[in-house]
């Protein structure tokens, strides 16, 4: 292998490495975006779960007769 051939081979390898690094960077960015989306979605679902739990308890309390509303003003006792 001559010096010119080895220099060309090094250049081709350097270009291939740079292309792979660019691909990896785009994949990493895509994974970060996915992680952010999923983190936000989990937070939304957790908030919704807490609200559902609270509303279920409220309905249960109402059905059990725990609260009595004033017939004049609607105040809950």
Class of residue 53 by CB neighbours under 10 A (exposed 0-12, middle 13-18, buried 19+)? exposed
Query: What pLDDT does residue 63 have?
Result: 81
Query: What pLDDT does residue 5 have?
Result: 78
Element (H, E) at 53: helix 3-63
Sorted by sequence, the CB contacts under 8 Å of residue 61 that are 6+ apart come out as 67
Global model pTM greater than 0.95: no
26 vs 17: CA distance, rounded Å: 14
- Domain range annotation of the chain: 1-36, 45-77
Over the chain, what is the mean pLDDT? Answer: 88
Q: List, for the chain, all residue ranges whose pLDDT scores fall below the cut of 70.
A: 1, 67, 77
Q: Are 77 and 68 in contact (CB under 8 A)?
A: yes
């Amino acid at each position: 292998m001559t010096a010119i051939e080895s220099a060309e081979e090094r250049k081709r390898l350097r270009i291939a490495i740079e292309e792979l690094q660019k691909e990896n960077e785009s994949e990493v960015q895509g994974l970060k975006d996915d992680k952010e989306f999923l983190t936000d979605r989990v937070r939304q679902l957790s908030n919704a779960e807490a609200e559902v739990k609270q509303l279920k308890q409220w309905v249960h309390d109402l059905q059990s007769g725990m609260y009595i509303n004033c017939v004049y003003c609607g105040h809950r006792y």
